[in-house]
Chain A
Amino acid sequence: SAVISQKPSRDICQRGTSLTIQCQVDSQVTMMFWYRQQPGQSLTLIATANQGSEATYESGFVIDKFPISRPNLTFSTLTVSNMSPEDSSIYLCSVYRDSGNTIYFGEGSWLTVV
């Protein structure tokens, strides 16, 4: 398994501000992802965090709104920029382990924008 730590676990943010979420994994992983789970909905992939290069964003998500960093194989950050109430969601970091072919998830960061 993989131990994934996300910070913050919860936050209440003011409209128009930005917040950076950190994801730390207990060992090196090839693939790291960021998902969003809006209230009552399923998980939507925001982007794949690539080590040493720009993240790969899914349709509907852009770098200006969700800049992502991945400086090494165990750490990534997701910033939610210029937040609006529609950004209120759980943001999840996940990693893919080649051994076991499994995706693991962090506990999520619950953001509320007021």
Chain B
Amino acid sequence: AQSVSQHNHHVILSEAASLELGCNYSYGGTVNLFWYVQYPGQHLQLLLKYFSGDPLVKGIKGFEAEFIKSKFSFNLRKPSVQWSDTAEYFCAVNVNSGGYQKVTFGTGTKLQVIP
């Protein structure tokens, strides 16, 4: 069974600082990878996804993530964070197993950006 690890549970940054959130997964086969964001009191929104091709994917709001297959990693980055990026970020991996899709989420990272 697949699993997802997010190493940082709570990150506090000042505005304009650079962000990198770690995500590692365990699964030996082909995966689709996602980052979702959940702003306070709101539902999950897709930030970006990877399923094939260029391992560097760009998402909304200036976020990007790089898939490094050899490291089973899909870290999220943003060069300069804003106060409005304060939210919880979830990494997820989708596995197609026997025709069924199964998405497993990491435990989430709470990002707090200080003005």
Query: Judging by beta carbons under 8 Å apart, are B90 and A31 in contact?
Result: no
Q: How far is the CA of A106 from the CA of B49 in the complex (A)?
A: 18
Residues of B contacting A33 in the complex (Cβ-Cβ under 8 angstroms):
103
B67 within 8 A of A: no
Cα-based distance from A41 to B36 in the complex (angstroms): 14
Please classify the interface of chain A as helix (H, G, I), strand (E, B), loop, or mixed, using the class held by over half of its residues.
strand
With A48-B100, A101-B32 known as contacts, the answer to whether A42 contacts B90 (CB < 8 A) is yes
> Total A-B pairs in contact (CB under 8 Å)?
48
**A interface residues (Cβ-Cβ under 8 A, vs B):** 31, 33, 41-45, 48, 56, 92, 94, 96, 101-108
Some 29 contacts from A to B, beta carbons below 8 A apart, are: A31-B100, A31-B101, A33-B103, A41-B108, A42-B106, A42-B107, A42-B108, A43-B44, A43-B90, A44-B105, A45-B102, A45-B103, A45-B104, A48-B100, A48-B101, A56-B100, A92-B43, A94-B103, A96-B103, A101-B32, A101-B51, A101-B94, A102-B49, A103-B34, A103-B92, A103-B94, A103-B101, A105-B43, A106-B43
Q: Which 8 A-B pairs have the closest CB atoms?
A: A107-B43, A105-B44, A43-B105, A42-B107, A101-B51, A42-B108, A96-B101, A42-B105
